[in-house]
Amino acid sequence: MKAQLKPKQKKVIKMIRLNKFISDCGIASRRKAEELILQARIEVNGKLVTTLAFSVDPEKDVVTVDGEKIKLKNHVYFLLYKPSGVIASTIDEKKRKTVIELIKTKEKIFPVGRLDYNTTGVLLLTNDGDFANFVLHPSNHIPREYEVKIDKPLSEEDEKKLLKGVFLEGGRGKFESLKFTSKSRKFVIVVSHEGRNHFVKNMFQTINYTVEKLHRSKFDGFNVNDLVPGSYVKLSEEEIKHVYEKYRF
């Protein structure tokens, strides 16, 4: 009896959206990748692409950003204790030191969100645009904890305002919790799900307080308790997976 030959399996071509491909290459988040496409900075196989719905074959298509070829990279994740006097960006027009210069890696990474020039504490960096988008998206309600020093004692009335909500540019904001670490009521620990730029400072400024010192002590379960300013650790895939599992639903 002749052995039956199995039909030849056709190779499945896995096409992915162009913005996701750019993100997976570590260039930018998907949202930023869309901006690059619309700015006519992306070419596929030598042809300019400005359509957001465009898909590519990662194994065959050649994608360039500003004429430079990009390719899929292994994702890396870092937890940095950001020191004061360093810019949380990939480049700086004023040539000031950036957080990228503090981390030794061959991968092209970027900070997840921003911390102000003189703000210290937890900062995540990666080349995984999807992860960055996930942890920053307000719908996922990922908590950030900040240690704050303000210029004068916070009144009970203003404390209630911050917890109930105040109106900022870009929409209403509030702290999820607030507690004092001294009797002076000038040292406060606040928790927020917000990721808007200058959010904590703007919250206090709206009710006429000035933040004199700001330290992000936690981002979800990540903290810098075992680090010194300017130092960092590489995070494992398991730690990143845990974040997805915790907040995905």
> Cα separations (Å) of 99 from 14, 93, 151?
35, 14, 28
Q: Sheet of 42-44: strands edge to edge?
A: 47-48, 42-44, 63-65, 68-70
* Whether 244 contacts 142, CB under 8 Å: no
> Cα separations (Å) of 51 from 40, 45, 130?
9, 15, 20
**Residue 143 has which token pair?**
């908590």
Residue 175 neighbours by CB distance under 10 Å? 25
Residue 24 makes CB contacts below 8 A (sequence gap 6+) with 16, 72, 73, 128, 129, 130
Annotation marks residue 226 as catalytic: no
Identity of the amino acid at 218: K
From 80, 59, 62, 81, select the one nearest 70 (Cα to Cα). Answer: 62
Q: What crossing angle do the helices spanning 237-247 and 129-136 adopt, rounded to 10°?
A: 40
Active-site option among 24, 92, 116, 158: 116
Coil, helix or strand for 132? helix
Catalytic center residues: 116
